[in-house]
Amino acid sequence: MESPVTLTPAERPGWSVEAEREQLLSAIRASGVEDPRVLEAVAKVPRHELVPPELRHLAYEDHPLPIGGGQTISQPSLVALMTELAKIEHGDRVLEVGTGSGYQAAILAELTDEVYTIEIVEALAARARRDLERLGYGDRIQFRIGDGYAGWVEAAPFDAIIVTAAPPKVPEPLKAQLKVGGRLVIPVGSGRSQALRVIERTPSGFVEHASLPVTFVPMTGRAQER
């Protein structure tokens, strides 16, 4: 018996990036994301170029996909929500912890030209960098392989920090690297007991603005030390 053939998006009859992307945008709007700049960024980023070839036919469906190394590319509506919650303006300096496929970094690079991204899995970091540079984002993104728990001290402070894996508790180094007025968007918890938290640094300390249930892969490295 012959194995089934998985077609790439371009090989599927009637497939078009524009139609699939518009369907995705409709789903993201329906999820409650309203920021026009975020929606425009989603419309520009070719998600099918940032997932494994065998899964490209699923690239514009609103759910996570495996990318290897036990990691996933987050569902687009959640990426859009986290980006909206970070309130990124053009010219902001933004840190992403967990490069993964590079999709969130690409969205950020559509909003500002100073993005820093860290990935602990070397193979994922190398692939994401190749893909993002191939897609023209290399001049807006700085890459690092390492443990994102410690942040990126030399580039701090940041206007926004987005974390794409869940530590059991909020890493203090990341809070310390926020500017006053900066926002940290981060899933916190373990297993299915996670919540997405938005923490703002104010002149008098830190204020938490929002929390909703989510499920992310766990942050590895120092975050798991007891």
Q: Which residues are catalytic?
A: 74
Q: Which residues contact 13 (CB under 8 A, 6 or more apart)?
A: none
> Distance of alpha carbon 64 from its chain centroid, rounded?
11
> Distance of alpha carbon 45 from its chain centroid, rounded?
12
Could you give the dihedral angle defined by the CA atoms of residues 5, 6, 8 and 14, in that order, rounded to the nearest 10 degrees?
A: 80
Q: Which residues contact 164 (CB under 8 A, 6 or more apart)?
A: 74, 96, 97, 98, 100, 104, 216
64 burial class (0-12, 13-18, 19+ CB within 10 angstroms)? middle
217: left (phi over 0), alpha (psi -120 to 50) or beta: beta
For 128, the token pair is 């994401």
Spatial contact of 45 and 115, defined as CB atoms under 8 Å apart: no
